Amino acid sequence: MLAIGGFVLGAVIGVFRARSLGGKAPDMAQYAFGIGLLLGVTGLFIQIILLRFLS
């Protein structure tokens, strides 16, 4: 669940970041995917660590 939430949050942050830099639609998509991937993988690792320690 953290991985999906991290990806969605990262995508939203990426779109706003690209828009603030004056980017067009392809720039927004690239920023959304890049930051979404970063936060999604981070969320995945946090989820794995939490599952290992709490179970």
**Given this model, what pLDDT does residue 45 score?**
97
The CA distance from 34 to 53, in Å, is 29
Is 90 exceeded by the pLDDT of residue 55? no
**Given this model, what pLDDT does residue 26 score?**
97
Instruction: Return the closest-CA partner of residue 38 out of 8, 15, 1.
Output: 8
Residues 28/48/2/15 CA torsion (nearest 10 deg): -10
Q: What is the pLDDT of residues 6-47, one digit of tens each?
A: 999 999 999 999 999 999 999 999 999 999 999 999 999 999
**Given this model, what pLDDT does residue 3 score?**
94
Instruction: Return the closest-CA partner of residue 15 out of 37, 36, 42.
Output: 36
Helix (H) or strand (E) holding 21: none
**Given this model, what pLDDT does residue 4 score?**
96
Domain residue spans of the chain: 2-50
